[in-house]
Amino acid sequence: MANVSHVDSAGLGELVAAYTTVTKAGGSMKLLNLTKRLHDLLSITKLLTIFDTFESEQDALTQFT
């Protein structure tokens, strides 16, 4: 997500739809390398409460060990 500079309501809807599909299949979805703007947007919309977020791929992988 480091290269994401803008997310509109459709993009947020896609993230939630992907999250729903993945979790219903028994998986988990991690968001990595959030820009400050995207972090703030997910915080304001309260979506940070459902997504696991990490600074890097290595941080996310460490959680699995």
Q: Is residue 29 predicted with pLDDT exceeding 90?
A: no
Over the chain, what is the mean pLDDT? Answer: 89
Q: How far apart are CA 60 and CA 62, in angstroms?
A: 5
Work out the pLDDT band at 20, boundaries 50, 70, 90: very high
Work out the pLDDT band at 65, boundaries 50, 70, 90: low
Mean pLDDT of 8-18: 93
Mean pLDDT of 13-33: 93
Any residues with CB less than 8 A from the CB of 56 and at least 6 apart, and which?
32, 33
Owner of token pair 């290595």:
58
Work out the pLDDT band at 62, boundaries 50, 70, 90: confident
- 34: how many CB neighbours lie within 10 A of its CB? 20
CB of 34 closer than 8 Å to CB of 53? yes
Where does residue 7 fall: left (phi above 0), alpha (psi -120 to 50 degrees), or beta otherwise?
Answer: beta
